[in-house]
């Protein structure tokens, strides 16, 4: 997919999301760590940028040290790892969940979408997708809870 088409798609997604979410972004810059060869990570980053986040992309050939340093539990690992306002955003987290995180500022280390769910942001952006966004606790070993649910529109 060429760059102009990606930007158009990311912009369209952002426009629809901002209309329905009605959330203004008042957050610091977002640093995204990703594999330099990963296209889905690029799409996710473009969607965040199109939504108004100031994005700093850092290509990393080995993501393991990044995830370890930021305290991402192995069972919560996703494709890429982002940091915004001191929170970890792991994997294909939808824009609405990121907006909720920076708006509400909960007492957690971050949020995660484990794996690479089909239809998630950057993985096809399917409105019929169904998956959960989990919390990453500040204390290792604390059970994750569901932070945000993605369900098909009824």
Q: Residue for token digits 């290792």?
A: 140
Domain range spanning residue 96?
Answer: 3-150
What mean pLDDT is reported for the chain?
86
How far is Cα 37 from Cα 123, in angstroms, rounded to an integer?
15
Give the pairing of strands 87-91 and 110-113.
Answer: parallel
What are 6-32's pLDDT values in tens digits?
Answer: 444 444 444 444 433 434 456 789 999
- What is the number of structural domains in the chain? 1
What are 51-77's pLDDT values in tens digits?
Answer: 999 999 999 999 999 999 999 999 999
Mean pLDDT over residues 129-145, rounded?
Answer: 93
**Residue 45: CATH number of its domain:** 3.40.30.10
Give the pairing of strands 131-136 and 55-59.
Answer: unpaired
Give CA 40 to chain center in angstroms: 11
Mean pLDDT over residues 107-119, rounded?
Answer: 96
């Amino acid at each position: 997919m060429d760059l102009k088409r990606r930007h158009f798609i990311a912009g369209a997604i952002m426009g629809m999301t901002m209309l329905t979410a009605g959330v203004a972004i008042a957050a610091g810059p977002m640093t995204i760590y990703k594999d330099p060869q990963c296209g889905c990570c690029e799409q996710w980053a473009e969607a965040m940028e199109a939504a108004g986040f100031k994005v700093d992309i850092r290509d990393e050939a080995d993501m393991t040290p990044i995830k370890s340093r930021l305290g991402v539990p192995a069972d919560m690992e996703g494709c890429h790892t982002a940091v915004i306002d001191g929170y970890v955003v792991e994997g294909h987290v939808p824009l609405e969940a990121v907006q909720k995180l920076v708006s509400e500022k909960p007492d957690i280390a971050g949020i995660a979408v484990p794996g690479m769910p089909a239809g998630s942001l950057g993985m096809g952006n399917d409105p019929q997708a169904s998956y959960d966004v989990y919390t990453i606790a500040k204390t290792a070993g604390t059970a994750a809870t569901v932070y945000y649910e993605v369900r098909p529109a009824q």
